Amino acid sequence: MKVYEAMANAFVKEGTTTLFGLLGDGQMTWWSAMSKHPGVRIVDVRDEGCAVTMAEGWSLATGRVGVASATQGPGLARMTTSLVVAARSRTPVVVYTSKTALNNDHLVQYLDQDRLVSATGAGYIEVLKPSYAENAVRDAFYRARREARPIVLAAPLDVQSMDCDADGEDYRPSGEMFPGQQAIRPDLDRLREAAGIVGQSRRPVLVLGRGAMSPAARAAANRLAERIGALITTTLVAKGTLADSEYYAGVSGFYSSREVIQLFGEADCVVAVGARLSSHTVSGGYLYPNARVVHIDVAPHVLMGGDRGADCYVQGDAAATLRELLEALERDGAGGLGYRTAEVRRILAHAGRDPAEFEIEPGTVDPREAVRLLDEKLPPGMNLVSSGNAHACAFRVMLMKRRRGLQIFCTGFGCIGQALSTGVGAALGAGGPMVCVEGDGGALQSIQELDTVARLGLKFLYVVVNDEAYGAEYHKLRAHDRDPSLSFVRSPDFAGLGRDFGCRGRGARTLEEFGAAIDEFLSGDGPMVIDLRISRNVISIPYRRLHFGMDV
């Protein structure tokens, strides 16, 4: 068996069912071997970086290791931003690539790939000899799961075609070696300390992060919140967790409304579960000024935003630790009404309504009204992927209230251009209709993947929120008395581009046109692009607060 055949077989034994990639001469032998396995679906993409991003979206939707591939040198180089994003988001992905024969630095496609990949935060494994072929695949999948990051697996061109002793039948997949994260039980002394702090509180807030999104953790968190009368809030990536509660206060920190920030200011205790408590989540440390913090996470320790530690840090599995904390509180008879009053329900029901008025340019719509309309039109549970641009994203984070199925905000590296590809991968992983919202600047960084969407025939709505500018920069320039027109860039007709790529396409310059376009998508099949022209004059609440000093 050749090395490339053994490695392809090992990928299949690892459970690979979907491969995202762009074919090149470096990995064509492995690609050909993968194509012979009937259970593998190969998704041809138009950009190597988008292959990684699609694999990340697929992983986020399925909870499994995503797989991407590109050729060596220039192919791998185009993946760098996406590797950084996946590494920062702690998403397990394995990337198969090649390397110039004999690592010959005189060849035109030579690249010091190890150093490049390491700089992104991803891991790197190279197959230096045929006998390592199967073990290299096992190591890549094992490390991707255990380290929760992308691993690049490179097989040099000369090694790929060598013979190896593998027969493919005796391969032991990494899943047998790493059955999953064990539930870490909390230290009893730390647990008693945490129970003491929580039990004494009268105004507790529960902050839930990605680590608290499992069904078991959600159930335990809800029981704890009900017992102690806690407000429920989340990090951005966990938005919507326990959103059915009347005491759900939305996303903590940068995206909190004025009314919710005032409630948080009254808190005397914060219980953070599976959340990093970044500067955005705690507003630099000023969001909960009078609260003692109990921080629960599987990591040995996590510093909060502002580089300070919690008053009580408990290392432990979210569900297991919450259950034991609840049992301790029940034994002590601790609990109370907390925030759970009719007045707090009234405040939350009206929170986030923005009375500010702006001049709306002719032929554009108010983005706040457009987001509310999109939220109203989309059926509950429909999957959503959104760009993570801080300004444009704020409207969707704060104003989309209905429960969603899969919900992903592309914020891992603070870059634009990731939403479309993430949405494609997530749509394939989730297996249902997908709505993807992205700004015009980000859309043009990966617009070629509309061709991939059309070829796949996905029921996929791509809403390009188009202000013909880089909106965040527009408002920052204004805030610092600089020329805001520097951010203006004329946009193409995205609806027309969508049609050229094989999708349906509609332009929308009024709310009526936007609503009609959404209805057309919902009633039809296949992908659709809506070019939604929005006013650039409307400033999101967080940006007004952050850059203009407005009390909102």
Per residue in 393-440, pLDDT (tens digit) is: 788 888 788 778 888 999 888 888 999 999 999 999 999 999 999 999
With a CB cutoff of 8 Å and minimum separation 6, the contacts of 113 are 72, 73, 76, 97, 99, 124, 126, 152, 154
Are 230 and 205 in contact by the 8 Å Cβ rule? The answer is yes
248 within 8 A of 232, measured Cβ to Cβ: yes
List C-alpha distances in Å: 111 to 57, 72, 80, 157, 162.
Answer: 28, 8, 13, 13, 22
* CA atoms 312, 316, 321, 322: torsion sign: positive
Burial class (CB in 10 A: 0-12, 13-18, 19+), 260: buried
Query: What is the CB-side half-sphere exposure of residue 467 using CA atoms within 13 A?
Result: 26
The pLDDT of residue 144: 97
d(CA 55, CA 99): 21
| Dihedral pair phi/psi, residue 175, rounded to 5° | -60, -30
Q: What's the maximum distance between 2 C-alpha atoms anywhere in the chain?
A: 73
Would the CA dihedral through 469, 474, 477, 482 be positive or negative? positive
pLDDT at residue 26, rounded to an integer: 94
Map residue 85 onto helix, strand or coil: helix
Helix/strand/coil for 68: strand
Instruction: Using only the alpha carbons of the chain, give its radius of gyration.
Output: 25
pLDDT confidence of residue 552: 45
- The answer for residues whose C-beta is within 8 angstroms of residue 213's C-beta and 6 or more apart is 238, 241, 274
Single out the residue of 63, 39, 154 nearest to residue 100, CA to CA: 154
Which two structure tokens, joined as six digits, stand for 448? 């070629």
Q: Compute the distance between CA of residue 141 and CA of residue 144 in angstroms, rounded to an integer.
A: 5
Q: Are 194 and 294 in contact (CB under 8 A)?
A: yes
- Residue 549's pLDDT is 64
Global pTM exceeds 0.85 = yes
Distance CA 77, CA 48 (A): 9
What does the pLDDT read at residue 217? Answer: 96
Cβ-contact 509, 425 below 8 angstroms: no
Q: Could you tell me the two tokens for 334?
A: 């601790």
CB 187 within 8 A of CB 320: no
Residues of the chain below pLDDT 70: 103, 389-390, 546-547, 549-552
3-state secondary structure of 503: coil
447's CB contacts (< 8 A; 6+ apart) are 420, 494, 497
Measured CA to CA, the distance from residue 4 to residue 36 in angstroms comes to: 13
